[in-house]
A and B are shown apart, each in its own frame.
Chain A
Amino acid sequence: MSNKYNLDKENSITDEIYFRNRRKIMSSSLVIPFLLNSSLFASTRKNLPFIKDTEFSTNEQTNTIKQITSYNNFYELGSGKRDPMFNSDKLKTDEWTLTIDGLVEKPLVLSMDDLIKRYQLEERIYRLRCVEAWSMVVPWIGFELRHILKEVKPLYNAKYVSFESILDPVNLPGQKRNVLNWPYREGLRMDEALNPLTLISVGLYGKVMPNQNGAPVRLIVPWKYGFKSIKSIVKISFVEDEPICTWNQQAPDEYGFYSNVNPYVDHPRWSQKRERRIGEFGKRDTLLFNGYSKFVNNLYTGMDLEKFF
C-alpha cells in the first residue's frame, strides 16, 4: 500500500489508522470517523466526516501536518512565517457564521454546523503555490463552492464573487497595525467560482481547520497564488463589478486580480519560474496554472495572461 501520507509522529494515531484504511473507507463511500475517535486517540481537533475525491486530487506526497501548520502566511496573526502558529489562539472562531448575500435570490447565513453537515464533505489533495515561490501539497476537507451558488441562486447581473475575512483588531495581533487594509478581501470571476476545483474548505488531514490555516472556513483556488485562497471567511457577496482584493489594492502592479500561477509572468521583483516544495532540497519548475491547466484552461481562452496577470 502506498504511503503517500507523510505523517508526523506527533500527529495522533487516529490519522495513521484513518488514512491507512482509506481504501476500505472509500469502498464504504462514507466515513464515520467518530467511531475511531475514542479517548485513546485523543486529539484536540475534531474529526470530520468526508468521502475521498479521486477526480481532482493529486497523488503527490502530501506535506506533514507539522509543515502545514508551522509555515503560514496569515497576516492577521502576524507577518512572520511562524507567527500564525504561535498566535493561533488569538483567532476566535466561536459562534462563527458565514453570510452569503448581494445579488442573489436567496441570501443565506450558515453556521459552522451547517458548513460541516449541509454539503457532502470530501477530501481534496491539492498543490498550493505561494506567490513567494514555495509550495506544499495539502489534503483539504471541504465542498465545492458551486454547491452554495446553486442554493443562493445568483442573479443575472452577478458577475463576480467577493469574499471577506474576519475583522477583529482587539484579538488579532496583525490587525493592530495597518500592514494591510483590513479586513482581508478577495474575489473571483463567476466562472472561476463555479469551477469544480474551487473549494470551500473547513478542515485538513481529516480534521477541522487549524486556526493558523484559516479556521473555521476558507477558500481554496489551487490554480491561483495562495493569497487568493482567503482564510477565515465571514462573508461571501455576489456583485456586478470586479471586487476589491487586498493584495491587489496593496500593490496593483504586483498582485493582479487573477493572480493565476504562471511561470511565464514574473512578479516584478522576483521570479515565478521555480518554486521550493517545502521539504524538498532543490527547487522545481513551476507549472502553468499550478498544473491544473486541464481543469481551468477554458476559463482564460483568448485572454492575454500577461495583461491580466
Chain B
Amino acid sequence: MYQIIVTYTFVITPLIFIIFNILFNTNIINPLSYLIISTGYISMSLLIMVLFIPLFKAIKGFFDRKIFGLSAFSYTLVHLLLYIIDNNISLKYLYADLSSLLFIQVGYIAFLLFLPLVFTSTIKAKLALKNNWFKIHRLIYIIIPLSFIHYYLIIKADYLLFFIYLIMFILILILKKRIISNE
C-alpha cells in the first residue's frame, strides 16, 4: 500500500506543480508552450526512472514501476494532445508537420511504440504473453532514445540539459549491464 502512495506522490507532484504554475504564476507568458515543454520533460524523466528504480535494491521496494510507466505514457499523451491543440486542432496543419518535420515524425514513432507497452501492462497480459511480454517491454530501449532525438531536434544552442539526460541514460545502461554480468 505504501508503495502505491509513494509512487503516486512521485508521479502526481509534477502535475500539481505545472497546474499551479499555469493558474498562479504570472511569469508564464506562453502557457501552451510551457505545458508542452514541461510534459515532455516529465515524460522523459519518468521513462528514465522506470529503468533507474530496479537498479537499486534500497529504493526498489518504494516504487511501483508499472504506475511509473503508465504515468510516463499519460504525460506523453497529454503532450501529444497539447501539441494538437497548439496547432488549432487542424488536420491540415498536423499533416503538414507530420509530412515534413523529422522531430514530429520521431515523436509520433515513439508514441506508437509506447502503445503496445500500455496495452500489455496488465498482469493478465503478462501471464498470457509469458516471455514475449519481456520482449515487447524491451521497446523502452527504443522509446527513450527516440524521445531524446525528438528533444535534441528542437534545441537551438543550449545542449546542457540534453546531455544530462543522455548521460543518465548511458549510466543506467552501464549499471544494468554490470548487474546482469554479476548475476
A interface vs B, CB < 8 Å? 66-67, 70-71, 75, 79, 81-82, 85, 132, 134, 177, 179-180, 250, 266, 269-271, 273-274, 276, 278, 281-283
Contact = CB atoms under 8 A, between A and B. Distances in A.
A283 B36 CA distance: 15
Interface stretch (B9-17, B25-33, B38-46): B25-33
Contacts of A274: 93
Nearest to A274: B93
Instruction: Give the interface size class of chain B.
Output: 20 to 34
23 contacts: A66-B26, A67-B29, A70-B29, A71-B30, A79-B158, A81-B30, A82-B27, A85-B27, A179-B160, A269-B101, A269-B102, A269-B153, A269-B154, A270-B101, A271-B100, A271-B101, A273-B96, A274-B93, A276-B30, A276-B33, A276-B86, A278-B29, A282-B88
A27 B154 CA distance: 49
B86 A266 contact: no
Contacts of B27: 70, 82, 85
A108 to B, nearest CB: 33
Given A79-B158, A132-B156, A179-B158, A270 B30 contact: no
B153 A71 contact: no
B95 to A, nearest CB: 12
Contact of A283 (B87, B153, B160): B87
Contacts of B103: 269-270
Q: Is the interface of B mostly helix, strand, loop or mixed?
A: loop
Contacts of B87: 283
A270 B32 contact: no
B157 interface: yes
A283 B86 contact: yes
Contacts of A85: 27
Contacts of A282: 88
B157 A271 contact: no
Given A75-B158, A180-B157, A283-B88, A271 B29 contact: no
Interface in B97-126: 97, 100-103
A273 B27 CA distance: 27
Interface string B149-183: 00001101110100000000000000000000000
Contacts of A177: 160
Nearest to A250: B157
Interface string B71-90: 00000000000000011100
Given A276-B33, A281-B32, 11 more contacts: A66-B26, A70-B29, A79-B158, A85-B27, A180-B157, A266-B100, A269-B101, A269-B103, A271-B96, A276-B86, A283-B93
Contacts of A278: 29-30
B97 A66 contact: no
Contact of A81 (B29, B32, B96): B29
A271 B99 CA distance: 11
A282 B93 CA distance: 12
Contacts of B32: 276, 281
Contacts of B97: 271
Contacts of B158: 75, 79, 179
A274 B97 CA distance: 11
A134 B32 CA distance: 12
List 6 A-B pairs, minimum CB-CB distance, nearest first.
A79-B158, A71-B29, A282-B88, A179-B158, A67-B29, A70-B29
A85 B25 CA distance: 14
A216 B170 CA distance: 45
Contacts of A132: 156
Contacts of B96: 271, 273
Nearest to A269: B153
B32 to A, nearest CB: 7
Given A278-B29, A278-B30, A270 B157 contact: no
A134 B157 CA distance: 18
A149 to B, nearest CB: 31
Contacts of B88: 282-283
A172 to B, nearest CB: 14
Nearest to A131: B156
Contacts of B157: 75, 79, 179-180, 250
A134 B30 CA distance: 9
